[in-house]
Structures are given as structure tokens and as C-alpha cells.
Structure 1
Amino acid sequence: MTLVAGVDSSTQSCKVLIVDAASGRVVREGRAAHPDGTAVPPEAWWRALAEAIDAAGGLADVDAIAIGGQQHGMVALDADGRVIRDALLWNDTRSAAAAAALTDELGAAEYARRTGSVPVASFTATKLRWLRDAEPENAARVAAVALPHDWLTWRLRGYGPTGESPLGPVLDELVTDRSDASGTAYFDTARGEYDLELAQLALGRPARAADPSREADPARAAAQPDPTAASAHPTSADSVRFAGIQLPRVLGPAEFRVVDAPIPAIRTLRPGTRVGAGAGDNAAAALGLDARPGDVVVSIGTSGTVFAVSETPVADPSGAVAGFADAAGAFLPLVATLNAARVLDAVARLLGVDHGQLAELALAAAPGAGGVVLQPYFEGERTPNLPDATASLFGLTLASTTRENLARAAVEGMLCGLADGLDAVTRLGVPAASIRLIGGAARSRAVGAVAAQVFGLPVVIPEPGEYVARGAAVQATWVLTGERPSWPLDTWAELAADPRPEVRAQYAAHAVRTA
């Protein structure tokens, strides 16, 4: 049996799956917690990765590994490979003003044309601009900028701070993939390369991509770099000043590096083990779900995301759709909403019921909830961009104010917000043939049934699983065999399309009134 490992280094925790490369069957798994907060020391991720690997029984029998991780976070490194400050995560909003400043300087349409997206506070470029303005002394020390999964991949291969890693701070050994690079706001998604002018616009200093003469080569699996060859990999402050800030090399879906030295923190990891480029979490989840063009993934967690696989790049100057790349060589336009499963949490608390009872109440009401509409902006909203909005109820009459209608309005309102996101994606020419519904709320009977009505498309609800880690394992198998595997997907429920356009029309009427 050939085994691979897939890692999900998310905001909350690190999950490791050891998977049979032939069937996709999970052989064993492990997990470790990450600290809370929106600014986190990356060393905590490294410790959690080692702990989760140990909990999964180690990697001694694993031939390839890849890491999926939270997108956008800023890991700033100095010339000695040390982390300069706690990493700012995707959900750290202190860079909101920096996002607005960058957009004003270049223009939203130009950003969309050059990167596929318009900067928001989650994107790496905005965090670099914040660093430049708020912490200029730290900004002056930056020699390289990595994303969370880039940094973990680098450490896993034996690189890292001077004196704390076997091979030291070889900054041009940093690698990433298209999907995560496309969330920086300085990567041209359509062309598949960095826009160095935009990186410089963010931090105010020149940036450089990796030396193209050192492209990924499978033969490197048999060769290890000489960590003493300092002249080949300059790391002094002077060399950084003149060479520019190092950005990770962008690898393709089947390209890989190898573990170049034994790592004391992970004693079971063998040198020579293949290491995939990794991926951003949504792109890894798409791989784990085996999503193909025409498939739409709707993830309902604390926040909501809608993303679809597209064969062509998209650019949305309105900023509603982020024109990301995927982890398989295509594209992954994405819309995010702030209010998803917690809408159901709030209404369940109001009605004094658990989630199962909330679903029963919702299913007891007719589509349209008797005219009751919940616009679920409990914590403001990102799509549409209404950060100061609050939730509103419309259509209450003596007859319509029932527990059943309130429960149904909560489910419909949450899903209508996500369906508006899908509309924004399809208006850009992206096909949508079916919905794959995942996340904590996906197994609610009411959510599945109403989704088939609101989206008007067939809905597939996979069995609960670690789809980001599974997607990383798909990539690890790909770099091992040279072919993308297509593992069977266990399905919890399938629902036929049951379009009820009156639900969307009712929601839209009130949304226009408050826009």
C-alpha cells in the first residue's frame, strides 16, 4: 500500500490525514489545536503540525505530503529566516484602511484586470501596506514574504531560521502554488506570475520572484542543496536591500520539492519524501471534493463561501467576486459572506430550540415563509459590502408571525445571501450545473431541502469529512504518480433541483430597499 499525507493547517487547528493513494481511504489521522486570535506566531503552527503528525502515527511509511492552509496570512521573514512579527491572519481587519488606500491608488478596475480581484482587508498586500505604515522598522527588515502554508512547507523540508533548522534560511527555497498566490493581490492569476509592481506598491520596496533557472525538477529528489553555499543563496541585509524582497516560487499542480534534510521536530519524516506545493484552503477543498468545471461548492460555516471551478480566468471590478486560481491548473472564482451558520445559531437561540428542532420548524412552513424575510446581516456583511449593516425582518403580520415562518426565514435568508454570491459568479460567465454543500450546517434537513429550492440546482451533500486535508492528499498523490487521482466521494444526501423563484424574488425586493 502506498501512503500519502494531507495536511489542513486552518485558523483553528491542524489536521493530518494519512491516506491510501490508490483508493483515497483514510488509514489514520491526527489533530492539534492552534491558538486563538487574528495575529499568531507561526511557530505555534509548526508545533501543532508536529503534534498532529505524531497523533496520526508519524510519517515513516509516507511517500509524499502536501499542506493546505488558511489563505492570505502574512508571514514576514528577515534575512536570517526569522519571523519578524506575529503573522496577520485573513480575519485580521486592521488593514481595512490599507485596502482602501491601495484600491484608491491604482483603481478597482485596474486591480481586477491585473490580478482578478480587488483588495480587501484579508488579502496579503493590504497587510504589507499596513506593516509599511504602522511598523516601518519591521517593514524595513522584511527579506521575504510567505503565506502560512508556504512557511510550513519550507520548514518541513528542513529550512528555517539560522541555528534552528538543519539547512538554514535559504529564502529562495520558499514555494507556493497558484491558488494561494492568487489571494495576495500581487499575483496575475490569468498569466500565472507575480505582478512585481503591485508587490512594491504594497510594501514600498522592490520584490523579486525566484530565479527561473532553478525550476522544479523531479531529479532534485536525488539531490540535496549544499547549505554551506552561502554565495549561492545570499541572506545578508545588504543583499536583501539590493535584490529585493523574495516571493515564493509558484509551482504547478504536479510539481514538487523534497525533504532535503532530517528534521528533529518530525523524526519520522524521511529525507527525499516528495512535498507538493500545497494550496489555499478553498482550493484544497475543491480538490478534495473532486470538483470540476460546472461544479459549485457552497460551504456553510461561521462564514459562507461560494466558489466554482472555471476553465477561464475571471475579473470582477466590483470586488464582489475574487478571481482566484485553483490548485489543479484552472480557476476558482469565489464569493465570501460573513453571515452563514451563525444566522441559524441566532434564530435557534431566539426560538429556544436546538438545530434539529429548528430544521423541523422550518420544514413545517411553506416556501417563502408566509412572506417573512430575514435579511441576515447580524455582523455587517462582506458581500454585499455593508460592514455596518444589521439584520432586519420584513413581512411580519399577525398571521405570518409564527415560529415556523421565523425558522424558515432564517434558512431562506442565509441561503439567499449565498445564492446572490453565486449569481455574481455566473454573471462572469462561469457555468453552474450542480451544488456541493459542505460545512457545519450542511447536514440540516432544512438547509439541504431549501438549498435545492433557492439555488434551483441539484444539491449533493457529501459525508462530513476533512476535505481540505483530503485535497492536500490528492495533491500529494498527484506529485507521486504524475496523475490527478479521482477518489470516490461518499454522499450523505442528494436532492433534485426544486426551483422556487418566488423565494429569491421576495428576498431581492427587500434587499434592494436597504442597499
Structure 2
Amino acid sequence: MYIGVDLGTSGVKLLLMDKDGKILKKVTKEYGLSFPQPGWSEQNPYDWYDYTILGIKELISEINPSDVKGFGVGGQMHGLVILDENDEVIRPAILWNDGRTTAETDYLNNEIGTDKLAKYTGNIAFAGFTAPKILWVYNNEPDNFKKIKKIMLPKDYLVYRLTGAFSCDYSDASGMLLLDVKNKCWSKEMLDICHVSEDMLPKLYESSDVVGTVKSDVLADLGINGEVKVVAGAGDNAAAAIGTGTVGAGRCNISLGTSGTIFITDSKFVDLDNNALHSFAHSDKGFHIMGCMLSAASCNKWWMDEILRDKDYAKAQEEMGNLGENNVFFLPYLMGERSPHNNPKARSMFIGMSMDTTRAQMSQAVLEGVAFGMRDCLEVAKEMGINITETCICGGGAKSPLWRKIMANVLNIKVNTLKNDEGPALGGAILAAVGDGVYPDVIEAAKKIVEYDSSIEPDAEIAAKYDKAYDFYKKLYPHTKDLFQ
């Protein structure tokens, strides 16, 4: 049996999978998230480990624990975890959706220059990436910076605590802006720019590579006898792509989680001239391009939970209709935006309300705004000559039939759903099974394990209406972006 872990922003999700891909049990443990200042987002790495161990114990409580042969972790990307010489966490982790690094991001893009960054890494600087966070600590917390002995990403901290292996996979490392993605090695130039040395960074692996085994004291705590292999794992989007079968060239996956991503696979590195999207390594040993919205399903959660104070999401969506005819629009930039605008200061807004505007129209505008934001990214891919005709969809937002229908028609592509939408946790378990030799590679494993459930085809009439609506939507950010400054 194999344990897959999804180390997320709101909690850790774990699942137990047998060698044939059958999911036997799932467990979720939630932990805290702090916002010390507006636009900041932090977490305590110790919580990640403690709640993961609690989750594992619950997960294996009804089986022979020694049947567990491997762990694979998919985790939130870009977060900065720094340890001192005693392996103690120096400060709370600065997360992927933290927007404090505007000055550092501007320095990298404008003073170092986007051309150089693209040459060194294949990408430009975004506020969420790890390199600007390192520079922020250097500029604002010099005493903490002097203590740094190890720099790692969230899921790699978990692997380090489990195994003692200081490791990172290429997919997750791609989002640090420290990796030469095309050549799969640390960029000496970027390390110099960020004032760090290579010995402060982990050893690099492919996602399914075994980096170590669970330490004896951890095994004893879990009640497991025997060896348990741990693979390098993957960034959450690359792990989710495995769990959706988005492996091998020419595949697409859309994730509607806290953030939203469009993930398009390729067998080779894609050089992005416009830099609006990201060009990263994939967990199947290939590459992918990705657009990332900082707020996706979290927009709907904010609207329903915080503003309407209504937990009945399904009932609220029953009141929506007339797709493509809504006169209310919503910009989904609650935490700023990454792709394609790269503006941490961007903010959300409703526009188009009148005296007869209803709650249902505003609620529908939130769902449509996220879909329009995803189309912004898809349009960039189209400009690059990439033709996507269908996609898989996953994440919490994908559980909504209405949102799936909106996505299919706004993007005007076929949308496929999964029998088991377990995202990064399933991807992690599949990686563990590959690492243990059950499958020859990730692509073969995904083919045998991942099953699709249903599909939604776009309706030509509705898609045409959404084309006109998108023409209006795409003018909103250019007309308002100066206000955010």
C-alpha cells in the first residue's frame, strides 16, 4: 500500500492506495493560516509535520501498518522554509499567495531584467515565487538571513522530517526562480543574485526518484515495521496532473482549488517569449506550461462564507441561469494576480450592477470571473500556437456541475471529470508506487489508474454569448490597473 499526501494551504489531505490504484481510505487534517499584515500569508511548518503524522496514524489505523511500502508528497509550491544550523525553523513559512515582495519582484524584473531572468531560469519574477521571498528576508530580516543553513519548499520540509533527506524535485524547484528549468540544475547566476550558496539548497531529483526511507524513530511512532520508501514528490499542480492523467505531451488540466491553474504538458522545454505563463519541469520527466490565478475557488468561498454568510453553495447555484447573459462582472484578484498580469497589487471588484441586480447575478459573476481569468491564460497559450480542444478539471470548484458548464462554454472546450478527483494526494501515491517499482514510469501508472467519469461539451449558442462577454471582461483590468497602484 502507498500513502499520498497533499500538503495544502488550508490543511493536509492523505489517502491510502493499493498497488492497483484502488483508494482505500482518505483523511484530512486542517491547520491554521495567518495574515500578519494585509497581503501577507504565513504558516508554521511544524504544523505541517504534526498534522501529517496525526493523519497517517488515522489513515493506517484499520490495516497492518507494515503493509505501507511508500510515501509520496505533493505540496503547495513556492513557500519559503528556512532552517538554522540546528534544523530549527527560523521564521514562519512565507507562502505562495503572499504579496509582500513587490519591491524585490520589481528589482528582479526591472533591474536584473526579464531577459536575463528568462535566460537564467526560463521564467520571470512573480511575487509568489521563492527567490523574491529570499531577497525580502535579506532586505528586511538580516539577522534571520544570517542564520540560514537550509532553504526548502513546504513539501520538502515534510520529506526532510520523515527521512532526513534534503531533497527537491524538478517540478517544485521550477517555481523557485532559482532553477535553470531547461537544463534542470540550479542557476549559479540566480544564486548569486539572491546571496545564497548551492549548499543551502537541496539535491535535485525526478519526482518518482526514491530519496530515502522513513527514519526509524518515525516508523516506531507510526507502528510500522520494515522499510518505507519516500520519493521526491512534486509541486501540487504537477502532482495533481498525475492524479488527473495529464501526463505525456499535449494534455491539459484545469484546477479549481484555492488557486486556479491551467496546466498544459509538453515533452520538451517551452521557451515563453511573453513570460505571461510559467515554463516548468513536469513530474513525468517532461515539461509543462502553466497559468496560475491566485484566487479561484477561494473567490466563491470568500463570497459565500464571508460576504453572504451562506454555506449552502448548491442552493445558491440553483438560482443562477441565463449563461452568457449576465450583465454583472467580477474581477477575481482577491490576493493580487499572477498569470497573466503579474500584479500583486491588483484587487477584486464587481462592475455592472444596477437597481435590479440580484444576489444570484453577483454570485454567478464570481464563478464567471474565475472562468474568464482562466481564459486569459488560455488565450496566451493560443497566441503561442498551442491548440487545446479538451481538458480535465479537478479541485473543489470542479465539484460544481454549473461551474464546469460555465468553464466549458467560456473556454469553448470539452471538459472531462474524474471518477476519483483526489488531485495531488493521488498523484503522490502514484509516484510512491512508481518509486517502489510497481509501475515502470509515471505515464504508464497514470494510464492504468486514472479513470474519467463524464464530459461536458460546450454549447455553441452559449459559447458565442460568452465570447461577447469576454470581450468586455478583458477590457476591465487594463482600464482599472492604475487604480490599484
Q: TM (normalized to structure 2)?
A: 0.85
Match of 2:430 in 1: 474
Q: Superposition RMSD on alpha carbons, in Å? A: 2.7
Q: 1:63 to 1:359 in 2, by over 3 A?
A: same
Q: Does 1:192 align with 2:158?
A: no
Q: Deviations over 1:290-324 (max 9, x none)?
A: 11333222222333222221222234354421212
| Stretch deviating more after TM superposition (284-293 or 341-350) | 341-350
Q: What pairs with 1:3-152 in structure 2 (closer than 5 Å)?
A: 3-22=1-20, 24-37=21-34, 38-57=41-60, 59-152=65-158
Q: Does 1:512 align with 2:475?
A: yes
Return 5+ residue gaps in structure 1 as ranges.
160-172, 209-244
Distance 1:14 1:447 in 2: 25
Match of 1:215 in 2: none
Which among 212, 217, 224 is matched to residue 258 of structure 1? 212
Distance 1:42 1:281 in 2: 17
Distance 1:366 1:69 in 2: 35
Match of 1:289 in 2: 244
Return 5+ residue gaps in structure 2 as ranges.
35-40, 479-485
- Contact residue 8 and residue 14 of structure 1 kept, 8 A: yes
Q: 1:352 to 1:33 in 2, by over 3 A?
A: closer
Q: Does 1:327 align with 2:297?
A: no
- Contact residue 294 and residue 434 of structure 1 kept, 8 A: no
Q: 1:74 to 1:357 in 2, by over 3 A?
A: same
Q: 1:403 to 1:7 in 2, by over 3 A?
A: closer
- In structure 1, the residue corresponding to 2:69 is in which secondary structure? strand
One-letter amino acid matched to 1:88: I
Match of 1:170 in 2: none
Q: 1:353 to 1:362 in 2, by over 3 A?
A: farther
- How big is the shift at 1:469? 0.8
Distance 1:430 1:367 in 2: 25
Match of 1:496 in 2: 457
Distance 1:269 1:104 in 2: 52
Distance 1:74 1:374 in 2: 31
Which among 159, 167, 179 is matched to residue 175 of structure 1? 167
- How big is the shift at 1:11? 1.7
- Contact residue 252 and residue 391 of structure 2 kept, 8 A: yes
- Contact residue 435 and residue 459 of structure 1 kept, 8 A: yes
Q: Deviations over 1:199-245 (max 9, x none)?
A: 2211x24x22xxxxxxxxxxxxxxxxxxxxxxxxxxxxxxxxxxxx3
- Contact residue 279 and residue 472 of structure 1 kept, 8 A: yes
- Contact residue 78 and residue 176 of structure 2 kept, 8 A: yes
- Contact residue 208 and residue 233 of structure 2 kept, 8 A: no
One-letter amino acid matched to 2:457: A
Distance 2:18 2:210 in 1: 19
Q: 1:341 to 1:272 in 2, by over 3 A?
A: closer
- In structure 2, the residue corresponding to 1:437 is in which secondary structure? strand
- How big is the shift at 1:503? 1.4
Q: 1:65 to 1:405 in 2, by over 3 A?
A: closer
- In structure 1, the residue corresponding to 2:77 is in which secondary structure? coil
One-letter amino acid matched to 1:83: V
- How big is the shift at 1:25? 0.8
One-letter amino acid matched to 1:511: K
Q: What pairs with 1:230-249 in structure 2 (closer than 5 Å)?
A: 245-249=199-203
- How big is the shift at 1:175? 1.1
Q: 1:444 to 1:98 in 2, by over 3 A?
A: same
Q: What pairs with 1:320-399 in structure 2 (closer than 5 Å)?
A: 320-344=276-300, 354-363=312-321, 365-369=322-326, 372-377=328-333, 380-383=336-339, 384-386=341-343, 387-394=345-352
- In structure 2, the residue corresponding to 1:459 is in which secondary structure? strand
- In structure 2, the residue corresponding to 1:362 is in which secondary structure? coil
Q: 1:270 to 1:42 in 2, by over 3 A?
A: farther
Distance 1:468 1:139 in 2: 31
Q: 1:147 to 1:389 in 2, by over 3 A?
A: closer
Q: Deviations over 1:446-494 (max 9, x none)?
A: 2122222111111112246331110001100111123331344454531
Q: 1:122 to 1:385 in 2, by over 3 A?
A: closer
Distance 1:402 1:126 in 2: 42
Distance 2:334 2:152 in 1: 33
Q: TM (normalized to structure 1)?
A: 0.81
Distance 1:277 1:45 in 2: 17
Distance 1:510 1:70 in 2: 29
- Contact residue 100 and residue 127 of structure 2 kept, 8 A: yes
Distance 2:470 2:105 in 1: 30
Which among 400, 414, 420 is matched to residue 458 of structure 1? 414
Number of aligned residues: 456
Distance 1:408 1:118 in 2: 34
- Contact residue 258 and residue 272 of structure 1 kept, 8 A: no
Q: 1:503 to 1:261 in 2, by over 3 A?
A: closer
Q: 1:132 to 1:450 in 2, by over 3 A?
A: same
- How big is the shift at 1:417? 1.4
- In structure 1, the residue corresponding to 2:82 is in which secondary structure? strand
Distance 2:113 2:144 in 1: 28
- Contact residue 214 and residue 229 of structure 2 kept, 8 A: no
- How big is the shift at 1:409? 4.0
Which among 360, 366, 383 is matched to residue 427 of structure 1? 383
- Contact residue 259 and residue 270 of structure 1 kept, 8 A: no
Which among 263, 282, 290 is matched to residue 307 of structure 1? 263
Q: Deviations over 1:265-309 (max 9, x none)?
A: 734345532211111111110011111333222222333222221
Q: Does 1:275 align with 2:236?
A: no
